Structure 1
Amino acid sequence: MKRLLLAAVLSLFAASTAAAQTVIVVRHAEKADASADPLLSEAGQARAQALAAQLTDAHPSVILTSPLQRTILTAAPTAAYHSVTSEAVPLNTGIQAHLAAIVAKVEAAPDDATILIVGHSNTVPLIARALGYAEAADMPECEYDRLTTLHLLGEGRAHAIVSRYGEPTTC
């Protein structure tokens, strides 16, 4: 009887986990310069390729970026590999509106979607928090290798796994 109960509980957990949205949040890769809308440096281009390699099995069906080149170019190899067109979410109405628009797009995606979001050092932690990962740490300007995977549980809650990808960054 205990085995049957345990099997039922595990199957319910597996079913609820499988149906949960997965959101992967990263910062754009390394910039070529300090201009307002720079391209990626060689290291940044390598990091964008590393992100695509890291996400080959993730199958993102939605890719959200800011309208700035560095986020679009970071997402580009992943988008090309999965034949997904990335969508730039406007920043010109302020960070709070940007966050609200991202959350709305995540909420509008199918329940079993995998979503890649490429943001900035000041938006990545805010996005993770807005999606239910209250403990998301602030991101220093020198950090490019953090990959936060959120499994959205509903009711503003998320289970998070923070990992690294590409060459380690040192701060």
Structure 2
Amino acid sequence: MTRALIALLLLALAGCATLGGRPVPNIYVVRHLHTPAGVANAQLTPEGRAAAERLAAWLERDPPQTILVSDTDRARDTAAPTARRYRAAVLTYDPRDTPALIAQVLASKGTVLVVGHSNTVPDIVDGLGGPRPAPLVHEDFGDIWHISGPKRVTVRSKLP
């Protein structure tokens, strides 16, 4: 009887981490880090590069296996320290196609990091089931949205 109860409990817990029968990835969404204002396809500033290193350290307890970035220098530069540190696959997505990005994230296995932009992060977080963030302005750097579990629990943190 006890063995059957334990088996039932384990099945119930396993079901808590699935969405439509598939495991739900643990997801982190960030906007690319610090760039100069008004520069097209800007690279990260020294402050942004330092913040990218802090992001990699911040993710140490739950390192991503997959990182999704747009095809911009600032997104790739934000992801680079994390990708190097955890040997994560870096895949490029089209920021104009949020539904395809959402599908790609939800089909991923393991933890996923998405590096977005001020005009895409609200749509990405909303599309992943989190509460839609307020519009971001240029100075909004370093926020991390952690979306987890089938109930899409969302916690917003600030990069130290």
8 Å contact kept, 2:94–2:101: no
Gaps of 5+ in 1: 167-171
Q: Which moved more, 1:14-23 or 1:78-87?
A: 14-23
Taking a change above 3 Å as real, the CA distance of residues 163 and 106 of structure 1, as seen in their structure-2 partners, is same
Alignment of 1:15-94 (within 5 A): 16-17=16-17, 19-32=23-36, 34-91=38-95
8 Å contact kept, 1:20–1:151: yes
Taking a change above 3 Å as real, the CA distance of residues 30 and 128 of structure 1, as seen in their structure-2 partners, is same
TM-score, normalised by the number of residues in structure 1: 0.78
The C-alpha deviation readout for 1:45-85, integer Å capped at 9, x for no partner, is 01100100100121211100111100110000000001113
8 Å contact kept, 1:132–1:152: no
> Does 2:131 correspond to 1:125?
no
Q: Distance in 1 between matches of 2:26 and 2:37?
A: 32
Matched residues, number: 154
Q: Distance in 1 between matches of 2:156 and 2:10?
A: 24
Quote the sequence identity (%): 31
8 Å contact kept, 2:29–2:145: yes
Task: Specify the alignment match of 1:147 in structure 2.
Answer: 144
TM-score, normalised by the number of residues in structure 2: 0.83
> Matched residue of 1:148: which SS?
strand
